[in-house]
Amino acid sequence: MTDITIALSKGRIFDDTAPLLKVAGIESLDDPEKSRKLILETNRANVRLVIVRASDVPTYVQYGAADIGIAGKDVLLEHGGAELYQPLDLNIARCRMMVAVPEGFDYESAVFQGARLRVATKYLQTAREHFADKGMHVDLIKLYGSMELAPLVGLADAIVDLVSTGNTLKANKLKAVEEIMPISSRLIINQAALKLKREAIQPILKAFSAAVEK
Ligand code: ATP
Ligand code: PRP
């Protein structure tokens, strides 16, 4: 039997993927929130799950350390997608990539006047492309999280971050001023594995497709 390794992050991706895996007949034997194990066995002897940081999922699949992964579009755009086959939008972990500024900041005027803004973000590639498309010169500041703090303490004028309910922006007196793109998570497959392990991978892909369409 061909061994299959699936990379995913714990938290919302694992929670939203578990029902899809179940449709494919795959159930984890451990709860990643409770276990410190990074390799989780499943009810299928030949299928295992590896628990990695969300932004590391494409790297594991790119190098073939995992055959399959589940990753956000935000993460895939930053990674670049090398060696990855992306057959399916799973429509899970949905949110929006937005530009946000302090509530009192007149973003439109700043853009109109050609102000050179400082923008803090974890998503450098996406932000760079967005502001280049708008013909804006910005100074990007790389952060690894809690972007909402940056404008509050004078680190940046604006942020590029993910927004879902808008509660985090609101709690920090920020407002969204531009949507860059909608975000959801995708199934990714190592291109070599797709050829060499086709018989084992296709049924999983098929089950995921069917589950998503429901
Ligand atoms: P890392 O741990 O690598 O820094 P992360 O903290 O962004 O990444 P998660 O919070 O688990 O990881 O998010 C995983 C994915 O879920 C993101 O890549 C994104 O596509 C999506 N996501 C992030 N925030 C939200 C949200 N508030 N609502 C819905 N989906 C979200
Ligand atoms: C994400 C994102 C925002 C928040 C937006 O953070 O970076 O901070 O969700 O969601 P909301 O609009 O519903 O408030 P997350 O919850 O993943 O925290 P983390 O960045 O610390 O992982």
Among 156, 188, 186, residue whose Cα is nearest residue 172: 156
Ligand nearest to the CA of 163: 2
Fold of 4-93+184-213: D-Maltodextrin-Binding Protein; domain 2 (3.40.190)
pLDDT of residue 135: 95
Ligand 2 centroid, distance to 96 Cα (angstroms): 11
Per-residue pLDDT of 37-95, as tens digits, reads: 999 999 999 999 999 999 999 999 999 999 999 999 999 999 999 989 999 999 999 99
Is any ligand 1 atom within 6 A of the Cβ of residue 59? no
pLDDT of residue 165: 98
Residue among 96, 164, 179 to mutate when testing ligand 2 (max atoms within 8 A of CB): 164
| Residue 154 φ/ψ region, left for φ over 0, alpha for ψ in the -120 to 50 degree band, beta for the rest | left
pLDDT of residue 77: 98
Q: What is the chain's mean pLDDT, rounded? A: 97
d(CA 9, CA 118): 31
Ligand 2 centroid, distance to 97 Cα (angstroms): 11
3-state secondary structure the chain: CCCEEEEECCCHHHHHHHHHHHHCCCCECCCCCCCCCCEEEECCCCEEEEECCHHHHHHHHHCCCCCEEEEEHHHHHHHCCCCEEEEEEEEEEEEEEEEEEECCCCHHHHHHCCCCEEEEECCHHHHHHHHHHCCCCEEEEECCCCHHHHHHHCCCCEEEEEECCCHHHHHCCEEEEEEEEEEEEEEEEEHHHHHHCHHHHHHHHHHHHHHHHC
pLDDT of residue 1: 86
pLDDT of residue 83: 87
Q: Where in the chain is the domain with CATH 3.40.190.10?
A: 4-93+184-213, 95-182
Is any ligand 2 atom within 6 A of the Cβ of residue 55? no
Is any ligand 1 atom within 6 A of the Cβ of residue 75? yes
Is any ligand 1 atom within 6 A of the Cβ of residue 74? yes
pLDDT one digit per residue (tens) for the chain, 214 residues = 899 999 999 999 999 999 999 999 999 999 999 999 999 999 999 999 999 999 999 999 999 999 999 999 999 999 999 989 999 999 999 999 999 999 999 999 999 999 999 999 999 999 999 999 999 999 999 999 999 999 999 999 999 999 999 999 999 999 999 999 999 999 999 999 999 999 999 999 999 999 996 6
Ligand nearest to the CA of 59: 1
Is any ligand 2 atom within 6 A of the Cβ of residue 162? yes
Pick the CATH number of 95-182 from 3.40.190.10, 3.40.50.880, 1.10.3720.10, 3.90.1150.10: 3.40.190.10
Is any ligand 2 atom within 6 A of the Cβ of residue 161? yes
pLDDT of residue 68: 98
Q: Kindly report the number of other CB atoms within 10 A of residue 37's CB atom.
A: 13
CA angle 67–212–23, rounded 5-degree value: 70
List of residues 6+ apart from 158 with CB closer than 8 A: 99, 100, 101, 105, 107, 117, 118, 119, 120, 151, 177
Is any ligand 1 atom within 6 A of the Cβ of residue 51? no
Ligand 2 centroid, distance to 141 Cα (angstroms): 18
**Ligand 1, atom 7: closest residue by C-alpha:** 54
pLDDT of residue 171: 98
